Structure 1
Amino acid sequence: MTHHRVVHGYRRAFRMAGEGPALVLVHGIGDSSATWAELIPDLARTHTVIAPDLLGHGESDKPRADYSVAAYANGVRDLLTTLGVESATLVGHSLGGGVAMQFAYQFPERTERLVLVSAGGVGREVNPVLRLVSLPGAHLLLSTLRLPGMRLQVGLAARLLKLLDTDLGQDAPELLTLVDALPDETSRNAFVRTLRAVVDWRGQVVTMLDRCYLTEGMPTMLLWGDRDSVVPVRHAHRALAAMPGARLEIFEGAGHFPFHTDPARFVALVEEFTAGTAPAHWSREHWRALLRDGRPDSGTAPGLAAPHDLREASERSAT
């Protein structure tokens, strides 16, 4: 069942079920809380599950607004606050993984654990289709999806990709869901604004790698499909190397939605992870020390960026 709350004058939709420690499920771009629908009943046996529709997505309002990763993290915080939830384990998929990581960076005292699923923000590489849609004229391109017969053609193409056993074909049903999620100009505008906040013609434009060291002491699990054509699985290994103490689970044969490919394994991993790890304990002193000392692999004096970091500075969120 979908609930609604008005926050800052905008209607926010979310699903909520169960009792126990809070577990927040954050969907990816163009998606909604519906992506978690089949998993929520099982997860709700041991958790209070909260799955929001991010602003501009699903049943939430779609204003002309800030759709940056940082703004989404703020929105998740504000929704949780209205629900009386002070801290939670965050599970983020794709864009939602970037939002979860940003939430942990902005609000470490409210983050108990992180589960990053095929998460964005680990490297430039991203599916060429998303780079194309970030270009000028994207609104016109997306509007053609609503022309008579286009959904049928997209469906046939998706099934062909599946039959040919391509990596993109592993996510054929989700491709159709994305088409259905953009029924009008308001939805398409919100989608393009969100995409351009994280992707341009060269690929992803924000990274979490420069701040991954801040997850020291925070239980973190990475879940990835080895046939992910949106965010390559090599990004999972890159994130693992950058996040002290993180754990990686690979779903063989899965694409960008491993929790759809094998929901039973996904639920079992999340339940085992939350039951087997203690919530992160945030300390102002420890946080200050981490920030002061900087990344352990930076090769520079504390507080100074390496030359490569300076070249890549324009690729990052400044928040």
Structure 2
Amino acid sequence: MAGRKSLRVQTRTVHGHRRAYVLAGRGPALLLLHGVGCDHHTWDPVIEHLSRRYTVIAPDLLGHGDSAKPRADYSLGGFANGMRDLLAILGIDRVTVVGHSFGGGVAMQFAYQFPQYAERLVMVAPGGLGPEVNPILRGLTLPGGSTALAVAATPPVYAALRLVGGRAHAIGLPGTADIPGALGVLKGKADPAERDAFLHVLRAVVDWKGQVVSMTDRAYLAREMPTCLVWGSRDTVLPVVHAQRARAVIPAARIEVIPGAGHFPHEEKPDQFVQILDDFIAATAPSVYDAKKWRTALRRGRAGEAARVGLRIPKDLRPEDLAGAPEPARTAG
């Protein structure tokens, strides 16, 4: 897929803080949310193609990229609120929300908090589906994590990591699939404001034991919303078996595992990613918010919904169990 044409980064002030974003294309709206430590550039390999068919909004989340980096609310709910308000300022009423990694958690939170604004939910290797997470991220939440990150981001150390890591990735050593993405996250963390914001966000969702935030307690609310999960089969940040946990709590979710991709499938396999997204949007009608159904589901709660549709989290899953799995039938009602 060809590289992205140059797009102007625009800014708006929301609640006193600068919010940066790119806006391109015409058609149904797509809100693209990046992961922790990244920015809108993670979507560079796909944004031009998507903008031919959709109105694409790709923001830098607060604390990232060209957006402000204040001492502020970096919770999932805070980010979801910020996206709602940015969309309101831009005059965009409804979106298919697409989130990668931490951004997948924000996407889920956005759909949960503001179902009337969300037409579909697409999560790309999202957090929140189990405690397992790369041990380097767990280590960065410990005392001294900021110092270690600062040292790793200094130009000479970063250059050495890039050289060694790049060569290891190039020859395909086991466990190196996500080195390019990790180096992209590390770049720029020598800046104290960017580093502090990154750690603030990370520590809100991860501690030394693993992920502390879970979407499974409210994922049943997505049963009425077209939902798709995309994962890379070689993900070393969040294990691909988490996708099947999502299927257990969102039975109608479409699951796509891209062979050979790591934690950044939209960067590594952009053509396949765009095809999956196009197919999913073409095959599904936008969700229609029904306040009565929403209230009924909330009153039943997770246990009531699980009992009603027979939800169960499978055990002992392997990545090969997911590859090529057929899309399950959508739950009626």
TM-score by length of 2: 0.87
2:239 is equivalent to residue 241 of structure 1: no
Which sections of structure 1, spanning at least 5 residues, go unmatched? 302-319
**Once the two structures are superposed, what CA deviation does each residue of 1:116-148 show, in whole Å capped at 9, x if it has no partner?**
100000000000000000111211111112434
2:106 is equivalent to residue 106 of structure 1: no
- Distance in structure 2 (CA, Å) of the matches to 1:49 and 1:163: 32
What is the aligned partner in structure 2 of residue 223 from structure 1? 230
2:300 is equivalent to residue 290 of structure 1: no
The residue correspondences of 1:16-95 to structure 2 (distance < 5 A) are 16-95=23-102
The structure-2 alpha-carbon separation of the partners of 1:101 and 1:167, relative to structure 1 and needing over 3 Å to count, comes to: farther
The structure-2 alpha-carbon separation of the partners of 1:60 and 1:97, relative to structure 1 and needing over 3 Å to count, comes to: same
Is this contact kept in 2: 1:167–1:229, CA < 8 A? no
Is this contact kept in 2: 1:12–1:60, CA < 8 A? yes
Displacement after TM superposition at 1:37 (Å): 1.6
Amino acid at match of 1:147: T
Is this contact kept in 1: 2:12–2:20, CA < 8 A? yes
Amino acid at match of 1:37: D
Is this contact kept in 1: 2:216–2:249, CA < 8 A? yes
**Once the two structures are superposed, what CA deviation does each residue of 1:134-187 show, in whole Å capped at 9, x if it has no partner?**
111211111112434111211123124314534542122222211213131111
Amino acid at match of 2:93: E
What is the aligned partner in structure 1 of residue 286 from structure 2? 279
Is this contact kept in 2: 1:22–1:48, CA < 8 A? yes
Is this contact kept in 2: 1:171–1:256, CA < 8 A? yes
SS at structure 1 position matched to 2:201: helix
Count of residues paired in the alignment:
301
Is this contact kept in 2: 1:167–1:255, CA < 8 A? no
**1:154 corresponds to which of 154, 161, 164:** 161
The structure-2 alpha-carbon separation of the partners of 1:111 and 1:178, relative to structure 1 and needing over 3 Å to count, comes to: same
**Once the two structures are superposed, what CA deviation does each residue of 1:25-77 show, in whole Å capped at 9, x if it has no partner?**
00000000011022111101111000000000000000011111111111111
Is this contact kept in 2: 1:168–1:255, CA < 8 A? no
Q: Which runs of at least 4 in structure 1 moved beyond 6 Å after TM superposition?
A: 297-301
Percent of aligned pairs sharing the same letter = 50
**Once the two structures are superposed, what CA deviation does each residue of 1:184-235 show, in whole Å capped at 9, x if it has no partner?**
1111100000000000000000000011110112000110011101000000
2:276 is equivalent to residue 263 of structure 1: no
Which sections of structure 2, spanning at least 5 residues, go unmatched? 1-7, 309-333
The residue correspondences of 1:94-173 to structure 2 (distance < 5 A) are 94-163=101-170, 165-166=172-173, 168-173=175-180
Is this contact kept in 2: 1:97–1:116, CA < 8 A? yes
Amino acid at match of 1:73: A
What is the aligned partner in structure 2 of residue 178 from structure 1? 185
Is this contact kept in 1: 2:154–2:190, CA < 8 A? no
Amino acid at match of 1:254: A
The structure-2 alpha-carbon separation of the partners of 1:44 and 1:292, relative to structure 1 and needing over 3 Å to count, comes to: same
Task: Identify which range, 203-212 or 156-165, moves more after superposition.
Answer: 156-165
